[in-house]
Amino acid sequence: MATSSSHLASFLSFVFTILFTFNIAKAQSNVTRGSSLRPTGATTSWLSPSGLYAFGFYPQTGGYAVGIYIAGIAERTVVWTAKRDTLPLSNDSTLRFTTDGRLVVDQPQGQQISISDTGGIGAAVASMKDSGNFVLYDSDQRTILWQSFDHPTDTLLVGQRLVAGQALFSCVSVADYSIGIFKLSMQIDGHLLTFPNLGFPDVTATQYWWSNTPDTGPNVALNLDSDGFLYLLQNSTFYIKNLTQGGYRREDAIYRLKIDVDGILRLYFRDLNNTGQNDSVIWVSSTDKCVGRGLCGVNGYCYVMNDAATCRCLPGFDFVKPGSWSSGCKRYYTAETCKIPDGDKGNFSQMTRLPNNTYWEDAAYALPKASNQEECSLACTNDCKCEAALFTGQSCRLQKLPLLYVQVRDSESNVGLIKVYVASVNNGSNPTNYPSDQVRKVRQVKFLVIAVSLASVAVLVLLLSGVIMWRSHVWAYKKISEHVNVQLFEDVGLRGFSYAELEKITDGFKVELGRGSFGIVYKGIIESPMKMVAVKKLKKELAQEGEREFQTEMKVIGRTYHRNLTRLLGYCCDGPERLLVLEYMTRGSLADVLFHYKESKPCWTERIRIALDIAHGIFYLHEECETPIIHCDIKPQNILMDEYGCAKISDFGLAKLLEHDQTKTSTLIRGTRGYVAPEWHKKLPITVKVDVYSFGIVLFEILCCRRKFDNSLPSDEAILEEWVYECYETDELFKLVNDADVDRRTLERMIKIGLWCTQEDPSLRPSMKKVVLMLEGTVKIPIPPNPTSFLSVV
């Protein structure tokens, strides 16, 4: 480090001779309080002593950004950007080093953006260093209060370290410096990985480059030396892995490691002696330009053309946002028309073969038997849920949209098939020919005509049936009571199954998925549409209800439709047997996700999102359903995760089967120990607030990634909600969560919400609507009282 800065200083004079294309003020090593910069005009930046680096404004798509760039070379090269999650700055913003020592951007609209967090201490002096580090010093002129090197964005400079728990995020594009879709993560366990940053959890399956140093222990950091040596070092002493050998030229050279817009890591070298020379790449994480997973978004795929990665949409798809590949592709026809036969011209949908060796993230929902490509193709054509199929030679994997991480890889010998909806113009003679734009337009028009005529027919039918129904009012009522079953399916799209059918679907109740408070769940596959399902065989005590009541209940449940609730697909009410057919959730329960696999523990933002998902689901049950539903048993085991990491509540509505009037005082405690609200024990009326209490406990578990009771811990930590309150009171919340990526203010907010939810007095607990608003951060959260302060005995 010391050597590198002396080298940098040595060409101080030399840099000044370089042709500058920007308006740069005289080099000014230290910035004093009261200084300011504007995006346009004479002074847009503060320079380092040699003039090599500058801190200030630069243009980006839609306005300006504030950050650090290399000023001493012809083209602006940004190495650090402040507040990448805020909107581009307008041309009348001001960057100020205030008289009380804060670094802020003032915007005319009134919001002030704070660039640096110095922990409330005003900095005495700011300094742009020749190393590319921007530093704020305390009044002793030595103590560093804040430095840009501690907050890397997409670039690592010589002397800067990416320490455990930190990450680099790529930019959106070369001209837009906000956070893009790739992430380089220096993990606590010593592993260095690149992932797509698309809001899905950092599961190992999505990494596309890694250093192969897992479990090498704590305190591993990525380092870059002044001779281009890039390596992982533990405890600042032990070499874990050398990514480059180093030993490159030190003099008049800049090295920087960057996670580029395409997700590839590149170590750039810049010859400062030779102004005509551009950056050269001396190390690259992958030579495959299409390696970055998600580069082409959902339903798109990547191929290399003229030595550059290019995206293309699957046949029958179009870019969502032309020019932004990562936004992915969408169909030009919707799948809702799947069933409509195409009159005399043949079938409406057909399967098109994708380029050889296509592969995508496997999330098959069904695996029908198929011995060849044609049979697999047919299985998908005949199933309206199916959008694509992958025939691997051994299996036929049916898939819904979106298709994630579509790739064309040499190592695969799969046949990828995608369903293409052919409008009337297609004579099906040449299915592999992707429709040209012109043909597509013609089709779209024709399609519109079909759609409009279908819609008018539908309206007519509706009107007609309305008249008939009105006329035969009395008759209809009678009918319903006689044929509850039939009516039900038509009403809510539920399907009735016989016990024998379900026996077949589950292959004789062979594969057990889990056991819940209401019964045992088995895996099954239903045909037409082919689909994996979960079949829940209810306990006998639940089956005591009469057939009518059971069906009424199913009707209520079947009407609930929300993205955070599992969907009831059908049921069986056959003699004494009561079974439910539910959506199959590929990722198991929240309990699995939180407690079982330490490595795939969801990251902080993911956890916040899961909490919000659950809150939305409960809110819907309480306030947006026709009849409010109290769940009575909210716990991680009853929250299931779908393939995209979306949390869905299951088992709702079943509590009601046990006892009809839920608002009555109950003698029989339902729900699960530890999650049930105190009023169950106190024989108080049971209201929606029991779910709010359970949600509070689950929220604590999600935030802390531990069970609500863990007797392997010291006694004061064993009961989670008590431990949480203790930490909250002593202002030591950091003891609860030891992840590095936790945002402390969010943590405090979440804990406060949890404490409100777990108040002993049900009337103090907020409604689920309020909880959602608090989680979303739209309302202020008052200081919660001690949850157990409510000591009244009833």
Ligand X SMILES: *[C@@H]1O[C@H](CO)[C@@H](O)[C@H](O)[C@H]1NC(C)=O
Strand pairing class (568-574; 577-583): antiparallel
Give the chain's end-to-end CA distance (angstroms, integer). Answer: 70
**Closest-CA residue to 638 (of 521, 754, 512, 773):** 521
Q: Give alpha helix (H) positions in 659-767.
A: 679-682, 689-704, 715-718, 720-729, 744-757
Q: Is 710 a catalytic residue?
A: no
513 or 740: CB nearest ligand X = 740
d(CA 415, CA 382): 18
**Closest-CA residue to 71 (of 62, 80, 63):** 80
643 or 739: CB nearest ligand X = 739
Please give the torsion angle defined by the CA atoms of residues 231, 235, 239 and 241, in that order, rounded to the nearest 10 degrees: -50
**Closest-CA residue to 408 (of 290, 236, 509, 251):** 290
**Closest-CA residue to 244 (of 232, 236, 234):** 232
Active-site entry in 202, 342, 613, 633: 633
- Which amino acid does the sequence have at 428? G
To the question of whether residue 537 is assigned a binding role by annotation, the answer is yes
Residue with smallest beta-carbon separation from ligand X: 346
Would you give the DSSP letter of residue 329?
E
Strand pairing class (220-224; 230-234): antiparallel
Please give the torsion angle defined by the CA atoms of residues 642, 645, 648 and 650, in that order, rounded to the nearest 10 degrees: 50
116 or 551: CB nearest ligand X = 116
Would you give the DSSP letter of residue 589?
B
CA distances for 368 relative to 255, 503, 508, 564, 633, angstroms: 54, 18, 18, 28, 36
Minimum CB–partner distance for residue 431 and ligand X (Å): 8
The answer to whether 417 touches 352, Cβ cutoff 8 Å, is yes
Other beta carbons within 10 angstroms of residue 442's beta carbon come to 15
Supply 456's token pair: 């008018």
Minimum CB–partner distance for residue 438 and ligand X (Å): 11
The answer to whether 416 touches 351, Cβ cutoff 8 Å, is no
Which residues face 45 on adjacent strands? 56
109 or 715: CB nearest ligand X = 109
For tokens 């198929």, the residue is 370
Residue 595: CB partners within 8 Å, gap ≥ 6?
Answer: 636, 705, 706, 707
190 or 328: CB nearest ligand X = 190
Supply 475's token pair: 């008759």
The answer to whether 571 touches 538, Cβ cutoff 8 Å, is no
Minimum CB–partner distance for residue 386 and ligand X (Å): 12
Residue 174: CB partners within 8 Å, gap ≥ 6?
Answer: 261
448 or 463: CB nearest ligand X = 448
223 or 758: CB nearest ligand X = 223
17 or 730: CB nearest ligand X = 17
30 or 118: CB nearest ligand X = 30
The answer to whether 327 touches 298, Cβ cutoff 8 Å, is no
d(CA 47, CA 40): 16
d(CA 619, CA 767): 8
Q: How far is C-alpha 199 from the geometric centre of its chain's CA atoms? A: 2
Strand pairing class (167-173; 176-186): antiparallel
112 or 143: CB nearest ligand X = 143
91 or 395: CB nearest ligand X = 91
State the sign of the Cα–Cα–Cα–Cα dihedral 192, 196, 198, 204.
negative
CA distances for 78 relative to 190, 228, 367, 379, 548, angstroms: 28, 19, 49, 52, 69
Which residues face 242 on adjacent strands? 231
Supply 379's token pair: 């299985």
Residue 132: CB partners within 8 Å, gap ≥ 6?
Answer: 48, 52, 53, 68, 70, 79, 80, 148, 157, 158, 160
Minimum CB–partner distance for residue 251 and ligand X (Å): 4
Residue 455: CB partners within 8 Å, gap ≥ 6?
Answer: none
Rg (CA), the chain: 31
Three-state DSSP state, 46:
strand
Q: Which residues bind ligand X (CB under 6 A)?
A: 29-30, 40, 91, 125, 127, 137, 141, 217-219, 234-235, 238-239, 242, 249, 251-252, 273, 276-278, 346-347, 356, 381-382, 425, 427-430
Which residues carry a binding-site annotation?
A: 537
Active site members: 633
Which residues carry a binding-site annotation for ATP?
A: 537
